[in-house]
Every structure is written in structure tokens, then in C-alpha cells.
């Protein structure tokens, strides 16, 4: 099939490269040349393990292309997958500007290019959008901008479940493949496109598919806050809540996976906080209280404050912050709790030096370099290229990454005190004098 992928960020890049690897003719489109240019040279525009290699193979095989021109992508294309951002607005609602714009771009391009052989083109949202978006945003745009002769459109929602840092593995082994559509032609097209995945394609009502991703992210966030609250209270009783959670997951009546149930630091990143805010905004719009989910967000916000309080309660003003992105193996800094932690400590007059194996001065490129320069210039000044440099003279290390270079540096140059925000630094680091867990 010829597939156009709109938006080449974390989701779009992985989607484009994986579909090209599966033999499709894939055209990625982005308005940002910092995303398009690396792909045309066979490199990934985002940091994701294995993605550079997959992109290089796709480009070399002539199956993966990137462009800023929607017409090149739409020409004879069977499917458009929309993977643009859906950020929070100040009120917590979901900003659908990029979705609307992408649909307008597709509709405009379809008036000037050749239709696919079947004459039918599926427009599929993979971004996370509130229930009703396909009906109330996508539908009206297509009604205003009908396609040219021989082109017919159908629409669907097909949520994406990959996680940054394990994006390729997650793409090829999703928890489920759900297509929300009322149009059987789109259902068939996507069953063909995703038929190679190990899970069957389940065709459901559009709004069910739109709501599903919010249910998943709200539950993941609630699991993190639950485990963190267990850790925060039982720590006062010298309990290792990691062990409590390990046993807890063995309760077969719960039938619950251990993912997201490790006591430790706050959740962050570009999805969980944003999607929780979005659900809470939907509740406000409908005069409905959701105290459980409101509490999940509030509980998460307390974690950074707790860690700051623990730093302030101890001696020393020199802090090494090891790990800046919201988790290991990604360069995504959006809503990273480590960024928040750094800012609060700097605001309190601490001397903070930061090391992150991916977000470091010698590796920052493209869109992420622009993000650091424009949004975090105060942190850029204290970013180092070397974990040992960050630890030099440090009274305290705050560690939110499991990166092996960081673990080695800690073992060779242990500071007086180490607070393990990751919960997974291993027995050698846990044996260091001055080691502290967050929830144990
Ligand atoms: P991102 O910000 O990394 O990438 C979005 C890209 O869309 C940007 O490169 C931007 O330039 C581009 N774009 C904006 N308007 C465009 C247009 N009209 N045409 C072409 N490109 C355009 O976003 P992301 O992290 O990949 O997330 C995308 C969506 O997927 C969001 O709705 C998010 O909630 C959802 N999602 C994200 C993840 C994740 O782990 N990041 C996982 C599952 C779902």
C-alpha cells in the first residue's frame, strides 16, 4: 500500500519506519524541516533505540521518503495516518489545531493529485484525541473541502500504544490493534495494513477507539501514583515498597501486571499528564467530578516537592542531577519531572550540574536542540557531557536514569548521598554509603 504519515515526531517516525520495513511505500510529511531532512539522509529525527538503522534501511530500499509537501505524499496514496501533536491548552483541554490543519492539508492535496487505484483513501487519526473528534473536527473539514473527481474518503481512529524508549518493540507487539470506524472500507484497509501484527484488528465504534487511549493512560498514571503513595507512607516504617509491590502483583484475584507499579519518582513525559488533564477537562465541561483521577494528578505533583524537601533537609548545596528526560533511552523533555526538579533546586540557590547520556551538549541536534535552546536555556548552561564532571564536588546525586555510564560513574566517584529516583540502580549502587530510595 502507499501510506502517507503526517507528523514525524516520536509516533510518526516509528510508524513510518516500521511500515516501510514491512514492505509498504511510506511517505512521511512534516511541516518542520528538522524532522524531514534527517530522514531523507537515512537518519531518525528523534532518539529511539534502533530507529536510525530501520530508517536507513527503509530509505536505502526506496520504501521510505520524507517531504514537507503533502501532495507528494497523497499522490495515489491509499491511507493517511495522522500522527501530529495534540498538546494541552492552558485550561487542560486538548489542542486540536494540528489535527485540523493536517486534515485540511490532506483534503487540499487530494484536489490536485491522482487518486489511488481503488479511488478510496482512508484518513486515520493515530494521535490521542478526545471522543467526538473524528465526528466533529475531521468530518466537517472534509465536508467543507470535498476531494476531486475519482477520490473518495473514509475516516477512522486507530490509537497508538507505543512507549518512547521501546517504540519499535511496542509497535510490532502492541497490546491490541483497535480501529474505530463506521466505514467498512476503512476497516478492510486497516486490517490489510496492520494484518502482520500479532494481535487481531478489532473494528469498533469510533468514539470507543478515541476513548480507549485515555482509559489506558489514566490507568497507567493511577498505577504509578498508587505505587508511589504506598512507597511514601511505608518508607516511614522502614518498608521496601518495591518488595510489597512485587508480592502484591502475585495476587491472582487482581490479575494485574507489574508495569507502572514501581514506587519511585513522578510520572511525566508527553502523554500521561497531558491525557489526564484532558480527561479532567472533559469532566469539567460536563459538570462532573472525577476525584480519583484529580487525585492521581495531585499525588504526582507532590512527588517532586517531597524530593526537594528531602534535598533541603540534608547537608550541602552541590547537586549532580543524573538523567534529565522523563525516562532512560529517550531525548523527550516534555513534562519531565527531572526538569521540574532541577528548576526548583536552582530556584532555591543550589548549584546543580546535569548529565544525561542523550540530552547532552554533544548529542543535541535538530528539533530537540531548538527545544533546549528556546525553552530551557537556564538548564543548558549547567548540562555537561560527562557524568564524572557532573559528580565532581557533588554533595548529593539525584539519579533518575539507569544508564550504565551513570551507574559506573556513581560507583567510581560516589557522592556523600545518592537519592535513587529510578528505583532500579542495582545492588552495587544500593550498597553505597549514603544511598536512599524514594519509596523504600
Ligand atoms: P511530536 O510532537 O513528537 O510530533 C508531532 C509532529 O507533528 C511534529 O514534528 C510537528 O512538526 C508535526 N506536525 C504538526 N502539524 C503538522 C501538519 N499539519 N502536517 C505534518 N506534520 C505536522 O508528537 P508525538 O510525541 O509523536 O505524539 C503525536 C501524537 O501521538 C499525540 O497525540 C500523542 O498524544 C500521541 N501518542 C504519543 C506517544 C508517545 O510516546 N510520544 C505514544 C502514543 C500516542
pLDDT tens-digit profile of 218-269?
A: 999 999 999 999 999 999 999 999 999 999 999 999 999 999 999 999 999 9
Q: Could you tell me if 173 and 246 lie in one domain?
A: no
Q: Determine contact, residues 298/276, Cβ cutoff 8 Å.
A: no
Q: Is 83 a residue of the active site?
A: no
| pLDDT band for position 368 (cuts 50, 70, 90) | confident
Q: Could you tell me if 149 and 291 lie in one domain?
A: no
Pick the more confident residue, 278 or 379. 278
- Owner of C-alpha cell 507532590: 302
Q: pTM here?
A: 0.96
Is a pLDDT exceeding 90 seen at residue 282?
yes
Q: Which pLDDT does position 360 carry in this prediction?
A: 83
In a domain? residue 356: yes
Among candidate residues 328, 203, 319, the one with its CA nearest the CA of residue 269: 328
Helix (H) / strand (E) element for 150: namely none
Q: Region of 65 please: left (phi>0), alpha (psi -120 to 50) or beta.
A: beta
Distance CA 123, CA 104 (A): 11
Q: Which pLDDT does position 436 carry in this prediction?
A: 95
Distance CA 401, CA 423 (A): 9
Q: Could you tell me if 227 and 250 lie in one domain?
A: yes
CB count within 10 Å of CB 153 equals: 22
Distance CA 115, CA 430 (A): 61
Q: Could you tell me if 277 and 144 lie in one domain?
A: no
Tell the residue nearest (CA) to atom 1 of ligand 1: 9
Q: Could you tell me if 135 and 228 lie in one domain?
A: no
Atom of ligand 1 nearest to the CA of 11: 26
Q: Which pLDDT does position 366 carry in this prediction?
A: 76
Q: Determine contact, residues 352/397, Cβ cutoff 8 Å.
A: no
Considering its fold, how many domains does the chain have in total?
Answer: 2
Q: Could you tell me if 127 and 20 lie in one domain?
A: yes
What is the average pLDDT value for the chain, to the nearest integer? 96
CATH code at position 344: 3.40.50.720
Gap from CA of 352 to ligand 1 centroid (Å): 31
Tell the residue nearest (CA) to atom 41 of ligand 1: 10
Q: Determine contact, residues 277/257, Cβ cutoff 8 Å.
A: no
CB count within 10 Å of CB 324 equals: 25
How crowded is the C-beta side of 119, counted as CA atoms within 13 Å? 4
Chain segment 182-196, per-residue pLDDT in tens = 999 999 999 999 999
Q: Which pLDDT does position 365 carry in this prediction?
A: 73
Atom of ligand 1 nearest to the CA of 128: 32
Chain segment 21-79, per-residue pLDDT in tens = 999 999 999 999 999 999 999 999 999 999 999 999 999 999 999 999 999 999 999 99
Q: What is the ipTM of this complex?
A: 0.99
Gap from CA of 361 to ligand 1 centroid (Å): 24
Q: Could you tell me if 352 and 433 lie in one domain?
A: yes
CB count within 10 Å of CB 298 equals: 11
Domain that holds residue 322: 215-437
Tell the residue nearest (CA) to atom 42 of ligand 1: 162
- Owner of C-alpha cell 516500521: 18
CB count within 10 Å of CB 86 equals: 24
Chain segment 377-397, per-residue pLDDT in tens = 889 889 999 999 999 999 999
Q: Could you tell me if 262 and 198 lie in one domain?
A: no
Q: Which pLDDT does position 375 carry in this prediction?
A: 87
Average pLDDT over residues 327-336: 92
Among candidate residues 272, 274, 277, 250, the one with its CA nearest the CA of residue 260: 272
Q: Could you tell me if 192 and 226 lie in one domain?
A: no
C-alpha cell at 189: 484497509
Q: What residues does ligand 1 touch, defined as CB less than 6 Å away?
A: 6-12, 29-32, 35, 83-86, 98, 101-102, 105, 127-128, 160, 162-164, 270-271
Q: Which pLDDT does position 200 carry in this prediction?
A: 97
Gap from CA of 63 to ligand 1 centroid (Å): 22
Gap from CA of 30 to ligand 1 centroid (Å): 10
Amino acid at each position: 500500500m502507499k501510506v502517507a504519515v503526517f507528523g514525524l515526531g516520536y509516533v510518526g517516525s516509528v510508524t513510518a519506519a516500521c511500515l516501510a520495513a514491512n514492505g509498504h511505500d511510506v511517505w512521511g510529511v512534516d511541516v518542520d524541516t528538522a524532522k524531514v531532512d534527517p530522514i531523507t539522509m537515512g537518519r531518525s529525527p528523534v532518539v529511539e533505540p534502533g530507529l536510525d538503522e530501520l530508517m536507513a534501511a527503509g530509505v536505502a530500499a526506496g520504501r521510505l521518503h520524507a517531504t514537507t509537501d503533502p501532495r507528494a505524499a497523497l499522490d495515489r496514496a491509499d491511507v493517511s495516518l495522522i500522527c501530529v501533536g495534540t498538546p494541552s491548552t492552558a485550561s487542560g483541554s486538548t489542542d486540536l489545531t494540528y489535527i485540523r490543519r493536517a486534515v485540511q492539508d490532506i483534503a487540499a492535496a487530494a484536489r490536485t493529485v491522482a487518486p489511488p487505484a481503488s479511488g478510496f483513501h482512508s484518513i486515520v487519526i493515530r494521535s490521542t484525541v478526545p471522543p467526538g473528534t473524528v465526528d466533529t473536527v475531521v468530518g466537517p473539514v472534509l465536508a467543507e473541502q470535498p476531494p476531486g473527481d475519482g477520490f473518495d474518503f473514509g475516516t477512522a481512529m486507530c490509537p497508538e500504544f507505543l512507549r518512547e524508549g521501546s517504540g519499535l518493540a511496542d509497535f510490532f507487539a502492541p497490546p491490541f490493534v483497535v480501529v474505530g470506524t463506521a466505514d467498512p472500507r476503512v476497516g478492510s484497509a486497516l486490517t490489510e495494513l496492520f494484518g502482520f501484527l500479532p494481535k487481531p484488528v478489532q473494528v469498533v465504534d469510533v468514539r470507543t477507539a478515541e476513548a480507549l487511549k485515555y482509559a489506558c493512560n489514566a490507568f497507567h498514571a493511577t498505577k504509578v501514583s498508587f505505587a508511589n503513595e504506598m512507597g511514601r507512607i511505608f518508607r516511614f516504617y522502614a518498608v521496601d515498597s518495591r518488595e510489597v509491590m512485587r508480592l502484591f502483583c502475585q495476587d491472582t484475584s487482581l490479575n494485574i501486571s507489574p508495569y507502572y507499579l514501581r514506587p519511585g519518582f513522578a510520572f511525566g513525559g508527553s502523554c500521561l499528564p497531558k491525557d489526564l488533564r484532558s480527561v479532567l477537562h472533559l469532566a469539567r465541561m460536563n459538570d462532573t467530578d472525577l476525584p480519583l483521577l484529580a487525585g492521581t494528578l495531585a499525588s504526582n505533583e507532590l512527588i517532586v516537592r517531597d524530593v526537594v524537601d528531602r534535598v533541603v533537609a540534608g547537608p550541602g548545596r552541590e547537586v549532580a542531577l543524573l538523567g534529565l528526560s522523563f525516562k532512560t533511552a529517550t531525548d523527550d523533555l516534555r513534562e519531565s519531572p527531572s526538569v521540574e526538579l532541577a528548576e526548583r533546586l536552582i530556584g532555591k540557590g543550589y548549584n546543580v550540574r546535569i548529565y544525561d547520556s542523550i540530552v547532552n551538549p554533544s548529542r543535541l541536534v535538530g528539533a530537540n536542540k531548538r527545544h533546549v535552546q528556546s525553552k530551557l536555556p537556564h538548564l543548558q548552561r549547567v548540562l555537561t557531557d560527562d557524568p564524572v564532571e557532573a559528580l565532581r564536588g557533588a554533595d548529593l546525586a539525584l539519579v533518575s536514569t539507569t544508564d550504565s555510564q551513570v551507574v559506573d560513574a556513581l560507583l567510581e566517584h560516589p557522592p556523600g548521598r545518592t537519592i535513587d529516583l529510578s528505583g532500579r540502580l542495582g545492588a552495587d549502587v544500593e550498597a553505597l554509603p549514603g544511598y536512599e530510595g524514594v519509596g523504600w
